[in-house]
Chain A
Amino acid sequence: MKLGMFMMPLHPVDRDMTRALKEDLETIVHADRIGFDEMWVGEHASCLTEPIASPLLFLASAIHLTRRIKLGTGVLNLPQHHPARAACEVAQFDHMSEGRLLLGIGPGGLRSDFELFKTEDHAARPQMALESIDMMIRIWSQDPPYQMKGKFWDVSLKESVIPEFGIGWMPKPYQKPHPPIAMSAMSSGSGSVKTAGARGWGVITAPFIHKNMIKTHWMALQEGAASAGRKASGSEWRVGRTVVVAPSDAEARDAVFDPKGQYFFYYDYLIRQMKHFNFAVTMKPDASVPDDQLTAESAVADRVIYGSPSRVAEQIIALREEVGPFGGLVTSQHDWDGRDFEKRSMQLLTEQVMPIVRRATGVRTAAE
Chain B
Amino acid sequence: MFMTPLHPVERDLARVLREDLATVIHADRVGFDEMRGGEMAGGREWRRT
Contacts and interface: CB of A to CB of B under 8 A. Distances in A.
Contact of B42 (A64, A170, A174): A170
A92 B49 contact: yes
Interface residues of B, number: 15
B14 A85 contact: no
Nearest to B44: A166
A165 B17 contact: no
B17 A92 contact: yes
B14 A170 contact: no
A169 B44 contact: yes
A98 interface: yes
Nearest to B47: A171
A308 B48 CA distance: 48
A285 interface: no
Interface in A156-173: 157, 160, 165-171
B41 interface: yes
B27 to A, nearest CB: 16
B35 interface: no
Contacts of B47: 92, 171
A95 B17 contact: yes
A171 B49 contact: yes
Nearest to A170: B42
B3 interface: no
A89 interface: yes
A244 interface: no
Contacts of B14: 95-96, 98, 174
A57 B18 CA distance: 16
A85 B40 CA distance: 10
A169 to B, nearest CB: 4
Interface in A116-170: 144, 157, 160, 165-170
B41 to A, nearest CB: 5
B1 interface: no
A170 B13 contact: no
Interface in B12-28: 13-14, 17-18, 21
Contact of A166 (B21, B45, B49): B45
B43 interface: yes
Interface string A71-85: 000000000000011
Given A92-B17, A174-B14, A165 B42 contact: no
Interface of B: 9, 13-14, 17-18, 21, 41-49
